[in-house]
Structure 1
Amino acid sequence: MDNQNLKIFGKIIAFLRKNRGWSQEDLASRANLHRTYIGSIERGEQNISLKNIIRLTEAFDISLADLFSYWDYI
């Protein structure tokens, strides 16, 4: 992913997290990831692996297709 795509992906993750009323710590705990890693994803600084994308979709209880369906709206 290029930097712009990383930033869009991060905005999607932040949107979904905030929409649920979760802190970065809440999401990190649910996805079994570190809070600072969540922050770097949301800022578009992290080229996240598919394994960790799946962890996030499981934490949000959504499919990969649902996650990427937000792409055009962010």
Structure 2
Amino acid sequence: MRTRIKEFRARHDLTQEDLAKKVGVRRETIVFLEKGRYNPSLKLAHDIAKALHSSIDELFIFEEDEGKETTTDN
């Protein structure tokens, strides 16, 4: 998963610490989210999106695992 949290934080002139305080987590959680090393709960994703005046879909980009085959049913 990739995120655009850093980009949206910059738009709102927020530091990692500012965003962490707004959503009730530690700054390290924001660091891990921005680096794609942590998958947030739905509530945290919602809180971050709300704090950044955005949507979950705009902030979080879910990607298929490389090499993993996907099938579609018709």
* Normalised TM-score (structure 2): 0.69
Name 1:60's counterpart in structure 2: 52
Structure 1 unaligned blocks of 5 or more: none
- Partners of 1:15 and 1:57 lie apart in 2 by 12
Calculate the aligned-residue CA RMSD, in Å.
1.8
Q: CA deviation at 1:62?
A: 2.7
- Stretches of 4+ aligned residues off by more than 3 angstroms: none
Total equivalences in the alignment: 61
SS at match of 1:28: helix
Instruction: Work out whether 1:33 is the aligned partner of 2:28.
Output: no
Name 2:40's counterpart in structure 1: 48
- Partners of 1:48 and 1:17 lie apart in 2 by 17
- Identity score, percent: 28
Structure 2 unaligned blocks of 5 or more: 62-74
Q: Greater strand percent: which structure?
A: 2
* Normalised TM-score (structure 1): 0.69
Deviation sequence 1:10-63 (CA, Å, 0-9, x none): xx0111011111110011111111111000100110011111101101211333
Q: Greater helix percent: which structure?
A: 1
